[in-house]
Structures are given as structure tokens and as C-alpha cells.
Structure 1
Amino acid sequence: MVTGSNNNYDTVIIGGGVIGSAIAYFLSAMQDGKTRIAVIEKDPAYEFGSTGRSAGGIRQQFSTPENIRISQFSIDFLRNITEYLSVDGTRVDIDLKENGYLFLAQDAQIPILYNNHTIQSREGVPVALLDPDDLARAYPWMNVSDLAGGSIGLEGEGWLDAYGLNQAFRRKAIHQGVTYLKDEAIGLEREGNRVTSVQLLEGRRLSAGTVINAAGVHAATVAKWAGIDLAVRPRKRFVYSFSCRTDIGKCPLTIDPSGVYFRPEGHQFISGCSPSPENDPDCLDFDVDYSWFEEHVWPVLAHRVPAFEAIKMEGAWAGHYAYNLLDQNAVLGFHPDISNLVFANGFSGHGLQQSPAVGRAIAELVTHGRYQTLDLETFSFQRMIDGIARPEINVV
């Protein structure tokens, strides 16, 4: 490991959630302890971070080829996670359940479903299109009367323990020599086309050869410190937990045409729904709106699954999306005008599932100056400047 002042680092990562910790893991592995890497995380218990408050899903049914390829690497990584993230031979358990994503469609949504299926099939995604009769046979608990079809991932989709994944990346990164600092970044110092240091709340300044913005919902604030406008905003999402007296049997993570989703969580279920754009302000609080469930979520659940007409609310929490206003896809890579500032932001709810592939990609970029195994240049910051959207249609 490179020696030097405690305040001098080759790479400083702002944000120790699942994206920042994945980058720290891959970067420390690639550089084999030869550089000094620091991760700044103000909430090491991860009580308020987006990672632990997510619904924990992973899927391959995207409309963007690059997102599909990201998921293909990620699911392979997660299936073999102990091989990668074990410390001293300890098994890593993230409770991965490959029970599938089921997208339901009405007549108006069928063209999108079929177009996405074409892209997914071209990328080798094991996905099947279902007509209403297929849906009724496979899921007898479902009301299919107003459906025109559906799309189910046959493998490589499901959900996992989000907090467990974050902790596994963190433990392994620390084992490989990464320093985690319990502190808060409050500013950047810039000279010309370089960021020279990161200022911390407790008074330290960390000099850095490379600074990586992995600040999640605070990404735009970090960018602003460097004089950059980043169109990523914090958007609040609710997750509701409920129980049902009736055992409905096999149930994938199901996305209703309305946008309401639900999936099993142990002996219960979790559910939620993104609001319409006009009812989705920037927000950083954690207050839960139970009326949103009563007025928007539960009526859809009861219509789609008759057994859900009689359910019991068990709890709820709020988390946040780092929402990319341009196209709901990630912003990755070096800024074109600041030679040592790297972005890993704007995942719009997909950060958890994309963290293994993004961690590897950013580590390659920092270590080798280019992507090596998966070209993610389509998600560069330059598109944000040019206003050229790479839209992801399947945003849940």
C-alpha cells in the first residue's frame, strides 16, 4: 500500500452505500493494495441510506441493452457472491430468491411489452410472453379479465437482502485495505480542471488523485461543489408491508399495468407504486403517507388479486430514488471538463441491482482509463450536457 499522510489518498469515494462500496471493492481488488482508497460515509449503520430501504429487486427485463448486460453480470456475481466477497472463508448470504419479475400489460401496453421482448431476446434474456390464458393457468389467484398479456423472466430475476449486499461489499473492501471514514463531505476544492481535495464536516481535508461521486440522492449537491449541474434529484418512494390470510401460492415480483408492484417477503408481502411525474417533488424526508396506500395501492391490489381484498397492514417505510431527470438511467464516468471527477449516480431505483457491474466498470475506468469488460459509455456525463436521452422505459 502506498504510504503517506493520513489525509492523502489516491481515490476518495463520497458515499458508502452499495454503489460506493461496490466500487471500493472492485477498485481495491484491481489495484491489489497498491493505492490508498477512502470511502466517506456519514451513516455507517445505513439506517437512512437508499440501499437498505429499497425493495431489493434484480431483473433483466429492461428496455436498454446496456442495462440488460449490467444485470447479466450482476446476477452471475450474486449467484457466486461467496467466491467474491467471502472474508476468511465465511459464507456470504444475501438471501437471493430467483422467483422472477412478472410485467402485466393491458392493450395499450402490449406494443411496448413486445418491443422490449425483442430487445431482451436479442440480448439472450430468458423471458417468456404470456397471454391471458397463460396467466390464468400459471397464477390462478390473479384476475386477468382486463389484461392483454404479460412477460415473465424465467431465471436471473427476483430479490435479495439489500442491506446484506451492502455490508458484504463493505467488509470485503475493508479487508482489502480500504479505509471507511465516518464523516460527511461538505465541499470540494478545485484548481483548474482538477478536484484537489474533499472537505469533511469534522474539519479534515482529504487530498485525492481521483474523486468518485457515489452520493446517491445527494449527488447533485456534490456536483455543485465542483461547479457542475447534475440533473439528479431525490424522489421519495413508499414501501408497504401487509399480510394476507389466504395463501396464494407461487408469486413472482408482479408489476400491474398501473405501476403498482407487489412481491412476497417471508410470510407477508411488500408493495408500492411510483407517483405520477406531476406529484413527485424533490424530497429528502422519511415521512410515510398511508393514504397513498389506501387510495392508490390497495384498490389495485384488491382488483388484481381478489385474496388481497382482505389484508392487514403490517408496516411501511420511505426511501428515495436518485432520479435522473433526463432519462432515468445512470450517469457514469469522468466529467468531460474535470479530469479526475468520476460520477456513479442517477440510477433511478436500479442502483442495488446494478452495483456489481457498475462497481467493476468504474474501477476499470479509474485503473485503466477505459471500460474493459462492459462498455457503458452510453451513460456518460456528456449526454447530460448535450441533452441526448438514453431512456429506460421499464422504470418500476
Structure 2
Amino acid sequence: MPAPEHKSYDVVIVGGAMYGSSVAWWLSRNRDFGGTILVVERDPTYEFASTSHTNSCIRQQFSAEVNIRVSQFGAEFIKNFREFMQDNEAPDILLQSYGYMYLADTPEFNETLRTSQLVQTRLGAGTKHLSPEEIAQAYPFYNLDGILGANHNQVDEGYFDGGTIFDWWRKASRAAGVEFLHDEVVGVDLAPDGRRVDAVRLASGEVISCGTFVNCAGPRAAQTAAMAKIDIPVEPRKRYTFIFDAAEPLDRDLPLTIDPSGVHMRSDGRYYLAGCPPDHDTAVGYEDFLFDHSIWEEKVWPVIATRVPAFERVKLINSWVGHYAFNTLDQNAIIGPHDHVENFIFVNGFSGHGLQQSPAMGRGVAEWITYGTYKSLDLSPFGYGRIARAEKFVEKAVI
């Protein structure tokens, strides 16, 4: 492992995947910051990072206003990527806006969709609440038995190339002087009063002083926090993805359809994608990526073939399992400083929302580090205080 260039940094970021790179990039482009930044990444191949297993989707269909605004900025960032990067060589990123289709099979959830649609519309989202007849007219391939209604939004909602954004954030950060180090943080030294992180200890034996410590450790967030004697309710949980071909392709794009069973599916180029959690959805080991092949035959394929009868005859092309950084309290992000260890910053617990939220959350954390406040969008509802109080952030649209 190479040695760090310095013995002290203004900001040390633990984890160099999507969030470590986002925070580093936003900090490096902020003219009011000007400090030194070290990103420590234990696996620079990112083979098992959540970033590498993402389905790169974005939606405005949340029930909480701040989540909607976070995703709206995400869509703005994706669509104007070259301008944000301020580099003519940066590519244009296409946002495939065929939308999410939330299907409701109970009166209670159908009413939740109606209520959420009103909030989304007030904030400028293009969400429409559809009756079964309206769904069938727009997408006649669905079997709508038992479905009472749905929400659908075809404006700035769908999927995008998150991998390219990630690559460019790392590239631009390095060009701006951010140091990415292949090493692992194995310990944290607190000040005598316990109110600050003074230094981090690396697996290589190096001890690095830091001004601000940023936890971007993904599913390992709780492990990293524990080094500073902090407890957060974040654990790794498996999420499965399947790519399949259909003998009878649909005559139009398949929206990202959230079936009441918990299985979701969408178009994916010439193929289709489906995903789900396991039925027994509990914490797993950080290194546990063992694949349960029965999930396709026993759970996913029966659901997709029932909901879309054209999927009776399909061929599995590819599949993988990744980890959510799952916040067991309320399945929403933990952002900002700790209430006691004042220079310990959380960027954790996204529970599957991470890639779409990374532009706004990275920007907000960089603002907090630079100014001690959020300037562009108030992210304080995601603060650590609610974790300490065991007070849930209420978001009804969690997949």
C-alpha cells in the first residue's frame, strides 16, 4: 500500500465509492474551502461496493418534501452534467424518463399514493394518479387483477448512467488535488474530552491527523462509527438483481414497476431488469455475497409472469446480489455532524436511495463542512439527532 502524502489533512473521508467521491468533488470545487482532502478506500476496485451493484434509478415519488427536492436536484445534475463538471470533455448523461409505476392493491396504499401525489405535484413533479382503466389504456400489457390504482411520473424519473458520474467525480477530484489512498481505517483517536476525532489509524500503520472526519463507509458505516464510540442503526442487507430477455418483447417501455409483492421490474435496453429483497431480510456479513438462486424461480419469475403475462417465457441473462446500507430505524439517510463528536460527519444509511441522492447530499455535506450550515437545501431532517432520540423520519415511499 502506498503511504499518504501528508501526516495531516483538513478532511479525511472514509470510503471512496459514490458518496466519498461526491463529497470530495463538491468540496474540491468550492472556492471557499481550499483545504486538503484524503479519501481512504479499502478496495479501489470497488468490486463489492454498493455503487457497483446499483441499478442507477431516480424518482421524485417520495412522500417527504425534502426527499422530493433532493431527487429533483439529482435530476437537474444528471441532465446538466457537463455544465456542472465545467469540462467540455464530460459526456452528456441521458436520463431515461419512463418513470416509476407504483401499484396499489389495498385502499390504504391507494390513498397513500393519492396523498403523496398531491405533495409531489405541489413541488412541481409530474406524478399522476391513475385508475386501473387509465393504467390499462397506457400500458395494456399489465394484468391488473386486484390493482386499485397507481402513481406514475414520466418527467425526470427513470434510470441513468451512474457509473459515469462516479468515474468523473473521482477523476475531477484527483485533478483538483484530492488524494485517494488505498488503505483501510482501522481505528480512530478521539480528543481527551471525546468531543473530536484527532486522528485516524490505518491498516498500513500510518496515523493521520484530521480536521473533519467523514463516514462514507456504505454498508460498513456502523463499523466505522463504532471506532469513535458511536452507534448507528445501519447494517448490510442483500438485494438481488436479475437481467432477463423476453420471448415476447413488450411494444413499449416497461416503467419501473413496483409490484405489491415487493418485486420491481423495468426495461433495461433490449432486455428487462427485476429485483427484490430476500423473504428473510436481515443483516448479513460484510463479506457475504452468497447468491440464493431459488429467489428467481420461486419469487421473482412467478411475480413478473403474473403481472406481465408476456413474461411467461423469459430467459435469465445475468444476475447479482449487492448490499444496501440499510437504516433499520427508518430507511432514510443519516447526514451531518454527530451531536457530541462535533467533527464526525455522517453520510450513511441510504437504504437504496443512495445513487439518486448523491448529487444533493454530497453538495450539502460539503456545504456543512465549509460553512457549518446547509446553504442550497436544508438537510437537517436527516440529522443524527433523530437517531439519538429514536425518532423516525417519516417516508412512506420506501422500496
1:390 to 384, 389, 393: 393
Residue matched to 1:117: 117
1:92 shift after superposition: 2.3
Matches within 5 A, 1:178-217: 178-191=178-191, 192=193, 193-217=195-219
- Would you say the 8 A contact 1:86–1:92 is kept in 2? no
Matches within 5 A, 1:210-289: 210-248=212-250, 249-276=252-279, 279-284=281-286, 285-289=288-292
1:97 shift after superposition: 1.4
Matched, 1:165 2:168: no
Letter in 1 for 2:230: I
Matched, 1:339 2:346: no
Letter in 1 for 2:177: G
Three-state SS of the structure 2 residue aligned to 1:228 is coil
Q: 2: distance between equivalents of 1:177 and 1:224?
A: 30
Q: 1: distance between equivalents of 2:302 and 2:11?
A: 49
Greater Cα shift, 222-231 or 38-47: 38-47
Cα-to-partner distance string for 1:65-106 (whole Å, 9 max, x where unaligned): 11001001111011001112254x213244431221111111
- Would you say the 8 A contact 2:238–2:281 is kept in 1? no
Residue matched to 1:90: 89
Three-state SS of the structure 1 residue aligned to 2:303 is helix
Count of residues in Structure 1 that have an aligned counterpart in Structure 2 = 391
1:297 to 275, 300, 305: 300
Cα-to-partner distance string for 1:266-323 (whole Å, 9 max, x where unaligned): 21111111245x5423343112111011111111100000011110111211111111
Q: What RMSD in Å do the two structures reach over aligned CA positions?
A: 1.6
Distance 1:268 1:40, change over 3 A: same
Q: 1: distance between equivalents of 2:51 and 2:129?
A: 31
Cα-to-partner distance string for 1:120-151 (whole Å, 9 max, x where unaligned): 12222111111111111111111112211111
Distance 1:378 1:91, change over 3 A: same
Cα-to-partner distance string for 1:40-76 (whole Å, 9 max, x where unaligned): 1122222111012011110000111110010011110
Give the gaps of 5 or more residues in structure 1. Answer: none
Q: 2: distance between equivalents of 1:279 and 1:338?
A: 32
1:258 shift after superposition: 1.3
- Would you say the 8 A contact 2:240–2:278 is kept in 1? no
Q: 1: distance between equivalents of 2:182 and 2:167?
A: 15
1:229 shift after superposition: 0.6
Letter in 1 for 2:91: V
Q: 2: distance between equivalents of 1:265 and 1:376?
A: 32
- Would you say the 8 A contact 1:139–1:250 is kept in 2? no
Letter in 2 for 1:182: H
Letter in 2 for 1:342: I
Letter in 2 for 1:309: E
Greater Cα shift, 13-22 or 246-255: 246-255
Question: Percent sequence identity over matched residues?
Answer: 42
Three-state SS of the structure 1 residue aligned to 2:229 is coil
Three-state SS of the structure 2 residue aligned to 1:140 is coil
- Would you say the 8 A contact 2:78–2:94 is kept in 1? no
Residue matched to 1:17: 17
Q: 1: distance between equivalents of 2:206 and 2:96?
A: 43
Residue matched to 1:316: 319
Three-state SS of the structure 1 residue aligned to 2:51 is coil
Give the gaps of 5 or more residues in structure 2. Answer: none
- Would you say the 8 A contact 1:92–1:168 is kept in 2? no
Q: 1: distance between equivalents of 2:328 and 2:152?
A: 28
Residue matched to 1:100: 99
Q: TM-score, normalised by structure 1?
A: 0.95
Greater Cα shift, 386-395 or 58-67: 386-395
Q: 2: distance between equivalents of 1:238 and 1:86?
A: 36
Distance 1:335 1:177, change over 3 A: same
Cα-to-partner distance string for 1:235-260 (whole Å, 9 max, x where unaligned): 11111111102120221111111121
